[in-house]
Structure 1
Amino acid sequence: MKKDIKKIVLAYSGGLDTSVMIQWLKENYDNPEIIAVSGDVGQADELEGLEEKALKTGASKFYALDLKDAFVEDIIFPCLKANAVYENVYLLGTAFARPIIGKGLVDIAIQEGADAICHGCTGKGNDQVRFELAIKAFAPDMHIIAPWRTWELKSRDDEIEYAEKHNIPLKINRETNYSKDKNVWHLSHEGLDLEDPMNEPKYDDILEMGVTPENAPDVPTYIELEFEKGIPVALDGKKMKGQDLLLALNEVGGKNGIGIIDMVENRLVGMKSRGVYETPGGTILYKAHELLETITLDKDTQHFKQHVGIKFGELLYNGLWFTPLREALSAFADKTSETVNGTVKLKLYKGNITSAGISSPDTLYSEQIASFGEDDSYDQNDSAGFINLFGLPIKVKAMQDAKKQK
């Protein structure tokens, strides 16, 4: 360990890891000054009392960075426009928050003249990579401290014991010690009984953003979302800024059992991990955006964008937000979103989202051409020549096979 470090900026959530870290850093780095920094990305009540707690447990300063609007506008919406998703179902809630928090840590570290930035990510997780790559993007020479990779505490039970020994207050106990991550987009749950994929999640105990489909209303809820250039701008005819719109969708989606997934994912560090994610509002936005693109994008663009969404999701999941490739893919998403304008009506019912109508001033759907009725725009006789040319390779191959059999 470096002993000449005098000032450390600590990414401080007030959770188990960072609660014990202030004391541990002082013990192991010759009593440096600790500046606790929390990035507010919509954790709501989890931020209550953090400043008091940080100062009481040894921090000299506490910063609460209000990142909510920037989080939604600069991270979430660009990912929505790109259809970013990881392994088909994960809507990247934890990964979304890391680039903007990492940038905030660097800003405070430079402002305060800190010698190092410390994070509480485990050596088994993805977040250590995401935070450290964000730090390297803006402060490449900054020393990074990751206690989980070096300290003597080998489990969350060890951390709880350390906290109890040093009279560090915790909001959890050994029985409710799920590892959680919360922001305006989602809430994740990992650990305890969830570590065995055979265990059905105890949804009634862990869900916080909504209810299970079984407990949702017996009647459907209808909503309308309006988009401009791929960005949601109004809910049920009411113009709203991004954060407020997302909060409203979280409420209506949660009530209807929307956006609960249970998945085993492939972590960047090589292992598989099981988690339960709640993403009610985000799930609604992705579905509405996908439906709108079906009538506003041409076939080749729509199909190619599916590949872009997968790659974009991998980049974000792997902590590669501040990279030339991600910026280039964002430029592609911006261009292809120029015509993604219109209104989507959705029916929410017991965990399901179904289309109840789509309209756009830029629609490529022509009822006249697609109609089964009589029309003057499409000559069905043209299809014969098209099929002959399109199927020519198949015909040639069949003729060649027939020759070989003689």
Structure 2
Amino acid sequence: MLELPTIFDVLLSLTYIFFIVSLFVSGIWEFISTIIQDKRAKLLQHSLKYLLDDPRFADLIYGHPLIKGQIIRRKRQSLEIIFHWLLNREIDSNTNEVVIRPSYIAPSVFARVLLGLIQQNALEAASTSVPVPPLPQSNLQLVNQWVDQLKDSTLSLNPKALQELQAILMALMQDADATNGGVGKVIIAIEKWYSAYMERVSGYFKQYSQQGIRWVALALVIVFNIDALHLTTRLYQDPILRELTVGQAKEVVRVVGDSINLIVARRTIAEQAIRRQFKVDSTKRKDASADTIKKLIKQRDATLAFIGQKAKTTQDSLEQNRRILAAESLGIQQLPVGWGTLVKELNDPSTNKVWLLIKKLIGWVLMVSAVSFGAPFWFDLLVKLVNIRNVGKIPEEREKGRDSGK
């Protein structure tokens, strides 16, 4: 007879196992896509090349001092020479150095780089050697002149790309002019345009990562024979294994939950203290000038942003600790995986080998499908299940207490 508490514990145990396997798979994929292939940086470079359908546009962006300073050049290591076919590094043909490009360019940086390029082009078109002045903040006429001069540009772009760039900038400037904004509004408009484009690129990268994770999961599942159906059967039939897995799941949720609560509490206290101090300072300086008040507001916002960044950094570190904790717990727990049991069953003459292999394939497919949801999904579900189980234990303990008192 099926018992609801047993089924619930099996579900919780499976969720915990899915979470652990997902962590391993995501770690392996991160190693492949970042350390081996450096996929993010290559995708960014590819996206810039085809932003205007001209590969030379990326060269202009990467050649700007704001971006050029982020490019790392170093000597090739021995492993990179031996496994060059696997590591797929970008090599400078002139210096034979490894070129490591940034994997992210902020929209604000891109906007200033783009305006700087058309500004420099305008000065070169005017055959002047005057140093490039800082960008104006209120006058759009000068920027209009820069954009208008793109048709006679000295930039190394094909005519079609120049026309497209000119059309895009003119449309963005019209939006800025309609809102009575200055160059600052143009910069914001370029940032939004670039961000929208990079969101589509991020969507492609997510799809690419999802496919990669599935392939890594398939390889891991087959190598270690991690069968979801077999795990379900063993967890249901073996109460000791089930109880150990549930205990480990509860411990992981407890440790991570305590750490997150501590981070949130500290951040809340710090933000409240900053706001109280700002209120006191504002009261003391109620007769101060508007510039002084603006400086106070700016200082407050900068401090709050710093606190938020520190909290995010701590949470990122916590994520790494969570992976380590899960990996260690997996090493302690003797899960029913591997090929030993399957080999014994195949050697048994009474075994229906065809049906056994069909079940094995179904179990692999279910495991790969589960892992493709990702570790965050399974951890969130694990937390909910553990909380439900903890609440459900109270009536059971009270019932046991009544029985012992009789």
Settle same-fold status: TM greater than 0.5. Answer: no
| The structure with more strand, counted as a fraction of residues | 1
Q: TM-score, normalised by structure 1?
A: 0.24
| The structure with more helix, counted as a fraction of residues | 2
Q: TM-score, normalised by structure 2?
A: 0.24
Greater Cα radius of gyration, structure 1 or 2: 2
